Amino acid sequence: MSDDPVLEASEASFPASDPPAWTGAVGAPTQRNELDDSGLFPVERRVRDMLADGRSIEEIASTLDRSTGHVRRIIRWSALDRGPSRRRYPAALRRRVLEMRQAGLPHDVIAAKFVKTPRFIKQVEGLARVVGERSARGYRRGLELLKSAADDARRSAAQRSRQDTDDSTPKGE
Given a cut of 80, is residue 45 above it in pLDDT? yes
pLDDT computed for residue 66 by the predictor: 92
Cα separation, 21 vs 137, whole angstroms: 56
Q: For residue 110, what pLDDT band results from cuts at 50, 70 and 90?
A: very high
pTM of the model: 0.40
84: left (phi over 0), alpha (psi -120 to 50) or beta: beta
pLDDT computed for residue 146 by the predictor: 82
Among 21-35, 80-94, 110-124, 155-169, the least confident range: 21-35
Cα separation, 47 vs 50, whole angstroms: 5
pLDDT computed for residue 141 by the predictor: 78
What's the DSSP call for residue 30? P
Q: Please indicate whether residue 135 or residue 76 has the higher confidence score (pLDDT).
A: 76
Span 120-143, average pLDDT = 78
Cα separation, 77 vs 68, whole angstroms: 14
Mean predicted lDDT score pLDDT of the chain: 75
Q: Please indicate whether residue 164 or residue 86 has the higher confidence score (pLDDT).
A: 164
Span 25-33, average pLDDT = 47
Q: Where are the alpha helices (DSSP H) in the chain?
A: 5-13, 21-26, 42-52, 57-64, 68-79, 89-102, 107-114, 118-132, 136-168
Q: Please indicate whether residue 141 or residue 63 has the higher confidence score (pLDDT).
A: 63
